[in-house]
Structure 1
């Protein structure tokens, strides 16, 4: 159906060792092998997490053009394991950066996620030069667009693409002096330094004020849901 409709597919794959053990017990196959036999490994598939990979599986992902979405903070919070991002990258796999959901990554902060991915990639590979800041920035932008099959429209600032932009104020004590803006963004900046966002050229946040959403209403709704969920837990 995905082939017929020309749409991508996304699923969590090889997220935990327990998931793989269960799959082998139920089907006799590791999930990636089963997906391959079902014809689902292709550039159309976004495989999220991928913390449990053998060398042969990394080669299989590269061979089939399967896209990988790396969610390091979710993996850390749930003790899922570590994605071999540097090995995947060197094998030619497109690795994008994600946050996973709020239940397993509370802040959904892409700048924080980028920093964690950079540090974790170095630690896992035991290489200080692994996953340089420029590569992490690409994972958070163009690689994500590529994984979605929309890199002709999104992911970089080019004529003919959508004007999706974020402005980050580096004129703070925490991010001065700036020698390399990309390195400073990944290793030193924080999300509260994002001042403006544009999607398709439309300003959605201006000087840290939302332009299309009512913050008071959002806060009220959040508090109502908090009370409702807390009440359900008590019951």
Structure 2
């Protein structure tokens, strides 16, 4: 018998790749943080001598969820200014609050709260866009989460940088300092076409090619954004980005609620990725991303929550349900975005968009053991005919019992193992008092 670190067995394993497969009464053999094999539980017990064997009697094992777009420190602004249009929300509430409070401490504690919420919801990897990304990376790594740090660029000053040039310089320094960390990777994160000028965008296009990292950007989020671009530049935002060399396999266009048929074909032809944030789009009345049309055209569509100031949670299980239901309603087709496709969007599609598809996003031999266990034995998911259907249409994030990243347990029987929950509660309470007094 071969000695290994860990064996995890469950009634159902949903590897995501190949599409549509559900393995019954199987186990994952894990050693040195990677998946060795998926095999029937009886065979696994005969072949391997694990140091630990986690036996789950009523669970589904899925790849750890990948949140392809969020602003993690903004958890501290959750619910601050709800039920307002996007620009009113940004200009009169969110940006002023950020101007008063954003600094290393805010980013540290906001990211810590986000990390705890994401782990408890089954997320093992997140793609972030915010100021002080080095602080976000430090918190994520200590919590054991896989993080893609958005090297943010914006034309106006913040507590982190004074202008686009300084943002880029600081971002490159962070990339060089942390590129050896196994849990951290990077993307350039110009905020949006309306907040970043042509010169910095053109430079980022060149740097992204040189460093082979993605570009993560809000694009075509609202009709107003498109109208403003036409008035200011004489063209729609996507066309402007294309002329600057930014549209290609390394682009993650977030939101994309305003797309014409020709733009969908162009995204497919260039290999660009779309990150769908359905709940944020609904809450801010930004519009409807044509997900089914994108999928049918061959565009890789991932899922993101956006930040908690506009969602108001980091719940990717909930986001899958909303995405699937919304796609059916928008397309008028009840077969649009079936459960297996929604799960793939929240896992492997996100990993591929972020350049991490070779290491995470599916349960395959050789990949990192980034795994989420969901208890499907609760009354709310009984009777059970199809575990994937229940994951998308019935299960709650409160049914996530265990989470592993690179084989390390971050959540065990609903208990966080890497984050001090009482200390986190005290930190959040202090921020709540300070922010509420100032708003």
Q: TM-score, normalised by structure 2?
A: 0.53
1:14 maps to what in 2?
220
2:378 is equivalent to residue 166 of structure 1 = no
Residues 1:193 and 2:409 are matched in the alignment: no
Match of 2:293 among 87, 97, 106: 87
| Equivalent pair of 2:402/2:410 in contact (CA under 8 Å) | yes
Partners in 2 of 1:214 and 1:106 — Cα distance?
23
CA contact (8 A) 2:288 2:330 kept: yes
Higher alpha-carbon Rg: 2
> Counterpart of 2:385 in 1: which secondary structure?
coil
Q: 1:210 aligns with which of 416, 424, 430?
A: 416
Q: What SS is found at the alignment partner of 2:257?
A: coil
Counterpart-to-counterpart distance in 2, 1:203 and 1:105: 28
Give SS of 2:372's match.
strand
Alpha-carbon separation, structure 2, partners of 1:29 and 1:162: 43
- Give 1:1-235 correspondences, 5 Å limit: 1-233=207-439
Contact 2:347 2:362 in 1 (8 A): yes
How far did 1:149 drift? 1.3
1:25-48, Cα deviation, whole Å (9 max, x unpaired): 110110000111111100100000
Which of the two has greater strand per residue?
Answer: 2
Residue 177 of structure 1 and its aligned partner are, at CA, apart by 1.1
Q: How well do the aligned residues superpose, as a CA RMSD in angstroms? A: 0.6
| Relative contact order higher in (CA < 8 Å, ≥ 6 apart) | 2
TM-score (norm 1): 0.98
Supply the distance in 2 between the matched residues of 1:205 and 1:149 (Cα, whole angstroms). 26
Structure 1 residue runs without a partner (length 5+): none
Q: Would you say the 8 A contact 2:217–2:252 is kept in 1?
A: yes
Residues 137-172 of structure 1: CA distance to partner in whole angstroms, max 9, x if unpaired? 000000001101111101001111100011100111
The aligned length equals 233
Q: Give, in angstroms, the shift of residue 107 of structure 1.
A: 1.2
